[in-house]
Amino acid sequence: MEPMYTHIYQQYNAELEDIRSKVLEMGGLVEQQIEQAITALVTGDVALGEAVVLDDTKVNSLEVTIDEECSQIIARRQPAASDLRLVVAVIKTITDLERIGDEAEKIARMAVRLAAEERPKNNYAEIQGLGNSVRQMLHDALDAFARVDIEAAVRIAREDRKIDQKYEGVMRQMITFMMEDPRTISRSLNVIWAARALERIGDHARNICEYIIFLVKGKDVRHTSLEQVEKEILGREREGL
């Protein structure tokens, strides 16, 4: 390969690696937002809740930066096949990460509101439990993205069902509280909104797993059952081993 083309090829690879690393940087920021928003809610820390709300601008700014880089790569490099799939997967992933940031901001706003309410005896253990599961799912999804691990992506996507079940459990618990003691209605509604935001984060984490499958296989599985994905995609992967 001639020196000029070698330089162009190396520069192109560096650009692709840069957008990948920026996605993981954005994911790290969003993970931190979730953790701090949950901590603010559980501990009644108003200052921390307000800080999470203000920090959302950093996530939004990073999304714009990555999106612009992706647009430049498409325009200047005209990527083909797997490289184009990577750029598309990055664009889709940062959209979900930005929305996760929005959900974390909602939880932080609920934290500020709940700080003014009488605290329950369990210190919002239901939000702490659901939040830990959601944070772990997102962390694992980002790890699978970093490693381009399709088997991990399918396994992690399955976790969304457990998140949904935990969310439904929180809903039933809050409805019971409101029926037994109308004085808890305001607090319970805020908890429900925070739990709903966490459930939505689980949905976005599942989306990221689906983009990993698209990146590797070039197949859009957004409207495909996980059972079918495992049969059609993972089945072929294992046959090829």
Averaged pLDDT, 145-159: 94
Q: What is the pLDDT of residue 238?
A: 55
| pLDDT tens-digit series, residues 200-237 | 999 999 999 999 999 998 877 776 676 776 776 666 55
Q: Is the pTM of this model over 0.85?
A: yes
Number of domains the chain is built from: 1
Averaged pLDDT, 12-23: 95
Q: What is the pLDDT of residue 3?
A: 61
The dihedral region occupied by 149, where left means phi > 0, alpha psi between -120 and 50, and beta the remainder, is beta
Averaged pLDDT, 97-111: 96
Is the pLDDT at 241 greater than 70? The verdict is: no
Cα separation, 227 vs 225, in Å, equals: 5
CATH of the domain at 44: 1.20.58.220
Domain that holds residue 216: 3-239
Averaged pLDDT, 53-60: 92
Cα separation, 37 vs 112, in Å, equals: 10
The contacts of residue 222 (CB under 8 Å, 6+ apart) are 207, 210
* Residue whose pair of structure tokens reads 């049969």 in the numeric block: 231
Q: What is the pLDDT of residue 40?
A: 96
As a whole number, the mean pLDDT across the chain is 90
